[in-house]
Amino acid sequence: MKIIVSIPAYNEEKTLGLVLEEIKHYGKLLTAQGDQFEILVLDDGSRDQTVAVAKEHGVFVVSNKRNRGLAETFRREMAECLKRGVDIIVHTDADGQYHPKHIPELVQNIKAGYDLVLGSRFRGKIEHMPLLKRLGNNAFSKVISSLTKVRITDTTSAMSWNRYSRTKIRW
């Protein structure tokens, strides 16, 4: 299967290098199982050295000419992944908030038939989330959980794994 780890980035030169090295480490586990593995950084018009750091680490980089915001960057990110013929998209952040060690485990869930697997920051300790943001996330999670009849603890999680062919969903 072709797996792309997709990372939106805006002024992330300080954290991106370490994140990329960790992702590459865990990506080797996937290639050892016969999967194709790529990393795509979608730069959202950064004004720092984000693009240079990404290129130094040998990953694919696509850049917005100017800052377009997270939603538009995410839309372009997904289009780029699909253009590359991906089977599984792993979406994560450039700031190291989500540990890449979970990538192989959650890719296995996708291979087992789930369409979407979400990482949750609330299964452990979150060190840096403002109270208002935490309350909003909790409220939104309860609404989505009641609509889907599936317990979801982190609806704003940036760590997700997607496949487009089956109907089971694991939250």
Separation of alpha carbons 151 and 140, rounded Å: 12
Task: Please tell me the pTM assigned to this model.
Answer: 0.77
Q: Is residue 167 part of a domain?
A: no
- Residue count of the chain, please give it: 171
**146 domain-assigned:** no
Bridge partners for 162 per DSSP: 89, 116
Summarised one tens digit per residue, pLDDT across range 39-95 is 999 999 999 999 999 999 999 999 999 999 988 998 898 899 999 999 998 888 898
Could you give the number of structural domains in the chain? Answer: 1
Q: What CATH number does residue 19 fall under?
A: 3.90.550.10
Roughly how many angstroms between the first and final C-alpha of the chain, as a whole number? Answer: 22
Beta carbons within 8 Å of 30's beta carbon, 6+ residues apart: 3, 37, 103, 104, 107
Which residues span the domain enclosing 118? 2-126+156-162
The position carrying tokens 């950084």 is 41
Distances (CA, A) of 16 to 34, 121, 149: 26, 19, 36
Q: What 3-state class would DSSP assign to 165?
A: coil
With a cut of 90, say whether residue 120 has pLDDT above it. Answer: no
What is the Cα–Cα distance from 143 to 76, expressed in whole angstroms? 28
